[in-house]
Amino acid sequence: MNNLAEIYDITIVGSGPTGLYGAFYAGMRGMKTKILDALPELGGQLVTLYPEKWVFDVGGFPKILAKDLAKNLVEQAMTFEPEVCLDEKVLSVKTHSENGTRIIELVTDKGISHLTKTIVLTAGIGAFKPKKLDKPRIEQFEGKGIHYFVNEKRVFKDKDILIVGGGDSAVDWCLNLLDTAKKITLIHRSDQFRAHEESVRALISSPIEIMTFHELKSVNGNEKLETAVVYDNRTHEEKALRVDGIILNLGFHADLGPIKEWGLELDKGGIKVNYRMETNVEGIFAAGDVASHPGKLKLISTGFGEVVVAVNFAKNFMDPSAKVYPGHSTDLKNIPAAKKGN
């Protein structure tokens, strides 16, 4: 253990919306806070996967662009000036005893040791890769007309777009690109959508051409993508569509990576927690999409509530004299002064 390293009260691993709000709330509890993330910037999937996608499940915003939500969360998280370490993947976790105090050491892929009294894991779904189709010439046109993420809507300005999928991402991008693309066609392998009911209602009433029970068979083009061949999976009848771009929203392969080797109890691809958001390892908590418990809902708003619980119990764990419930945030005596502006 690097005895010269500074010891933090709480280290939050993951800087998506749950982690950022957790950092802010830890500051509210007067905790010396560090944020660690393997990505090169704060914001998680909000900025890496869908910066221009509308987010609907955050209180106070009827809808907000993911990149704007990330910007607001970063600003809020920095209120109490947490230490931020980016582009570092945590490889291992060890525990030590120092002067009777239990210290957790996190070692990253840069060979750096970070010392902390508690950890809150907010790593989302872990490392993720988009699910791909094993179809002719798909790989050839990846990045040249075929997309898995949408970072800039203007790429699809006045284009004929084919969107493949039946979940929230596919339906949301159909609606989000209505003011950008010239024409949008959606194909889905069944007639049952896995998106929010209101989004599906808006989709059905939109001018988008919806082809249920259809799948992508192949793509064609010379220097650029030109056509897509789709087929009816009931009759096998084929149809060629003129397209400038295809968005494949087929989900992701998620992997918790080194976290799986930390001795944490796993459940349904996540980390098992109790009602206090505690894992089976003392001092380590989890919140957001990475946490698994009965009745789990993977929503941003759920993550906000879970991380507050995790931080409050982490505070009590490191300091048993501290109350788990600190009182209402509207009571000014319960709020430590922010460093900025003082």
Model confidence at 337, in pLDDT bands (50, 70, 90)?
low
Distance, CA of 72 to CA of 119 (rounded, Å): 24
Do 201 and 186 belong together in one domain?
A: yes
| pLDDT category of residue 269 using cuts at 50, 70 and 90 | confident
Read off the pLDDT of residues 3-42 as tens digits, 9 standing for 90 and up. 557 999 999 999 999 999 999 999 999 999 999 998 899 9
| Residue 158's CATH number | 3.50.50.60
319, part of any domain? yes
Two tokens, residue 235: 């009759």
Residue 43 has pLDDT above 90, yes or no: yes
DSSP codes, 275-319: TT-B-SSTTEEE-GGGEE-TT----HHHHHHHHHHHHHHHHHHH-
Domain boundary (227, 250, 273) is at 250
Q: Are 119 and 18 found together in one domain?
A: yes
Q: Are residues 147 and 239 located together in one domain of the fold?
A: yes
Q: Which of 250, 277, 294 is the last residue of a domain?
A: 250
C-beta contacts of 157-161 below 8 A and 24+ residues apart: 157/181, 158/182, 159/244, 159/245, 160/185, 160/241, 160/242, 160/243, 160/244, 160/245, 161/185, 161/243, 161/244, 161/245, 161/246, 161/247
Task: For residue 136, give the DSSP letter.
Answer: T
Q: Is residue 292 situated within a structural domain?
A: yes
Q: What's the whole-number mean pLDDT along residues 115-137?
A: 84
Closest CA to 289 of 50, 12, 16: 16
DSSP 6: P
Average pLDDT over residues 159-166: 97
Task: Tell me the average pLDDT across 265-291.
Answer: 95
In the predicted structure, residue 268 carries a pLDDT above the cut 90: no
User: Sorting pLDDT into bands at 50, 70 and 90, what band is 293?
Assistant: very high
Written as one letter, the residue type at 29 is R
Is the pLDDT assigned to residue 341 strictly greater than 60? Answer: no
pLDDT at 98: 75
CA distances to 100, 264, 342 from 6, rounded to whole Å, are 17, 25, 23
pLDDT band at 156 (very low <50, low <70, confident <90, very high): very high
Q: Bridge-partner residues for 229, per DSSP?
A: 218, 240
Average pLDDT over residues 244-271: 88
2: in domain: no
342 has a pLDDT exceeding 60: no
Share of the chain above pLDDT 90, in %: 72
Query: Do 242 and 288 fall into the same domain?
Result: no
Residues 58 and 338: their CA atoms lie apart, in Å, by: 24
**312, exposed or middle or buried, with CB in 10 Å at 0-12, 13-18, 19+?**
buried
Give the 3-state secondary structure of residue 93: strand
Amino acid at position 113, single letter: S
Structural domain count of the chain: 2
Q: Do residue 123 and residue 58 come from a single domain?
A: yes
- The secondary element (H helix, E strand) that includes residue 66 is helix 66-77
Q: Is the pTM of this model over 0.85?
A: no
Helix (DSSP H) and strand (DSSP E) numbers for the chain? 6, 22
Domain boundary among 221, 250, 279: 250
Q: What is the rounded average pLDDT of the residues 111-117?
A: 95
Distances (CA, A) of 19 to 10, 221, 231, 289: 12, 43, 43, 11
Alpha-carbon span 285 to 21, nearest angstrom = 15
Which has the closest alpha carbon to 86: 35, 32, 18?
A: 35
Task: With cut-offs at 50, 70 and 90, classify the pLDDT of residue 48.
Answer: confident
Q: How much of the chain, in percent, has pLDDT values that exceed 70?
A: 94
pLDDT for 287 beyond 90: yes
Domain that holds residue 95: 7-127+253-334
